[in-house]
Amino acid sequence: MISNTLQLHTFGQPEDVCHLEALEVPTLGQDDILVRMLATPINPADINFAQGTYGVKPELPATPGIEGCAEVLQSNNPKFAEGDKVIFIQRVGTWRSHLVCQEAQVLKIPKEIDYRQAAMLKVNPATAWQVLHQFKQVQPGDWVIQNAANSGVGQCLIQIANELGIHTINTVRREELIPDLEALGAKHVLLDDTELVSKVRGICGDAAPVLASNAVGGDSALRQMDALGEFGGQVTFGAMSMRSLKVPNKFLIFKGIQLYGLWITKWLGSAKRDEIAAVYQNLATMVLDGKLNQKIEKCYAPQDHFDALKRAQENQRDGKILIDWTIG
């Protein structure tokens, strides 16, 4: 069997170095499964992977793709059957039409779930879920503040927090981003500026935020720390501003602020499978119930990967860019 595979032979701009190649699919070993890819998103991590600047630098040639949804075509594993849907919890290089994988690399998900939404479950929804669960015991009625609320993780956090009864304060850099987040269910969307802290106090009163979700760093992260209540925690999982955290001593000494870092890849590599499965079951159920949805701007056929990769790197998109392996 032949797999149409987006392959790297050198690092560089993804649209220049990713080429669609016909590669032979290995034969199934004991307990292996053969899957047909349905869809895979183009994430910033995939762009960095192709550029050679990601936290994991592969040997070449290599296939990008950190997440996706696939259908089982053939199984030598009693836990999987033909027609099952799976998502990938380990890096296998999902930018290809077919691949052979092992049980540890995939999780079975409900067959009725939309495959395009399932393809995006691994990174953004799980990151938002872990921000809310891994570090602090956030209770219904508590306040959480996040920056970059219009990002993929930010939009997932709004929806998950609403389902859990957690109040959110969501900050963005531009006013035109506010209406879409309000339509998503965000009750408080503020500009991330010098007046943020006083506005947060006006909203929360004495019940200051117990947790901050930080994807930006720099001054934005400092404003979050100032807005947090005593012994509040800040979880950093991104650095969009490209500026490091410089923490004033007062936040550590007098407020007892606790700082955490989250890389979902590291969590997937260290957590027990039962814990991982439980998180994704919760997220899949929310998708099926219509309570968690990630916006998709466009699905591209594999042969149109050049346009897909260019668009995925442009600003002001209206949702995710996906490669849909069922097209063409």
Residue ranges of domains in the chain? 2-120+294-324, 124-265
CATH among 3.40.50.2000, 3.90.79.10, 1.10.10.10, 3.90.180.10 for 2-120+294-324: 3.90.180.10
Per DSSP, the three-state class of 37 is: strand
Angle CA 174–157–115, to nearest 5: 105
Q: What is the pLDDT of residue 209?
A: 98
Whether 2-120+294-324 shares its CATH topology with 124-265 is answered no
* Region 124-265: CATH code: 3.40.50.720
Exactly one of 54, 115, 280, 300 is catalytic; name it.
54
Q: What is the pLDDT of residue 226?
A: 97
Residues (pLDDT < 50) of the chain are none
The stretches of 165-289 forming alpha helices (DSSP H) are: 178-184, 196-204, 218-227, 249-253, 264-270, 273-288
User: Contact 67/90 with Cβ under 8 angstroms?
Assistant: no
Q: What is the pLDDT of residue 160?
A: 98
CA neighbours closer than 13 Å in the CB half-sphere of residue 221: 26
How many Å apart are CA 313 and CA 324, to the nearest integer?
Answer: 18
How many Å apart are CA 43 and CA 50, to the nearest integer?
Answer: 11
Per DSSP, the three-state class of 222 is: helix
Write the burial class of residue 212 (CB in 10 Å: 0-12 exposed, 13-18 middle, 19+ buried): buried
Q: What is the pLDDT of residue 236?
A: 97
Q: What is the pLDDT of residue 54?
A: 83
Q: What is the pLDDT of residue 246?
A: 85
Distance of CA 132 to the CA centre of its chain: 14
Residue 300 bears catalytic tag: no
How many Å apart are CA 69 and CA 171, to the nearest integer?
Answer: 31
